[in-house]
Structure 1
Amino acid sequence: MKTVITFGTFDVFHSGHVNILRRSREMGDRLVVGISSDQLNFSKKGRNPVYPLRSRMNILHAIRYVDQVFVEESLDLKREYIIEHQADILVMGDDWKGKFEEFKDICEVKYLPRTPSISTTEIIEVIKDIE
């Protein structure tokens, strides 16, 4: 059985998120998703997610491609998360290309192209402009 792992915030869930989850799941028999804690998201992006962790986790649990969801508390623990979940493949969006080569000693690392013209940050900015 081949396990795939990916990580993200998955805030303001959109079709780009569905695409990466579907394509990730197609690479293996099981998909494990690390979802950024609210605190981790703030430290990465300088803002809190629109949806709190519990809501984002509920959405991911409902997606048929996802077999397991856990909270990613720190970027520094990626290696431990990969080992703990016995992942064979780490999948990330190509906006992270080259950033996770250090894990090639414990799993395959693949970068998938992002869905064109869809960005959570852009969606949030459009919504803010409407107000």
Structure 2
Amino acid sequence: MKTIITYGTFDLFHFGHVRLFKRLRALGDKLIVAVSTDEFNALKGKAAFFSYLQRAEIVEACKYVDMVVPETHWQQKAKDICKHDISIFGMGDDWQGEFDELSILCDVVYLSRTGEISSTEIKNSLAAKMPNHDINKVQK
């Protein structure tokens, strides 16, 4: 059985995320998605619109995803690969070369991003349409 893993915040879930999951899942038998926790995002200087629990629920509902796990720190990737018997570690090509050291544990692939969509672009577009609102603040 080939198991694939990927990592991300997956805020403002969109068709680019679905296409990434579909392409990753096609590489094997099981797809695990590690969703960044709110605390980890804060350490990275990021704020998600949706909470970790909401983002995990949204990602888990995608038919290509078999399991969601929390991403709590940068160093957990090697441990996750061993713990879940991962065959393929996959990320978008905006991370090209950043995780090559994991290739001693499994295959590492970087997939091209879906054009014309990103969570950042959505946030920027919403901010332009709603100049009096700070959409980058986390809603509780």
| Residue matched to 2:39 | 39
- With the length of structure 1 as denominator, give the TM-score of the two structures: 0.96
Please list every run of at least 4 consecutive aligned residues from structure 1 whose deviation after the TM superposition is greater than 6 angstroms.
none
CA distance in 1 between counterparts of 2:86 and 2:65 reads 14
Q: Percent identity, aligned pairs only?
A: 43
- With the length of structure 2 as denominator, give the TM-score of the two structures: 0.90
Matches within 5 A, 1:84-99: 84-99=83-98
User: Which amino acid is 1:100 matched to?
Assistant: F
CA distance in 1 between counterparts of 2:76 and 2:127 reads 33
Give the drift of 1:52. 0.4
Matches within 5 A, 1:1-131: 1-44=1-44, 46-131=45-130
Q: CA RMSD in A?
A: 0.9
How many pairs are equivalent? 130
Give the drift of 1:25. 0.2
Q: Where in structure 1 are there 5+ consecutive unaligned residues?
A: none
**Structure whose residues are more often helix by fraction:** 1
- Local SS of the residue matching 1:104: helix
Larger radius of gyration between Structure 1 and Structure 2:
2
State the Cα deviation string for residues 68-95 of structure 1 (Å, max 9, x = none): 0000000111111111111000000000
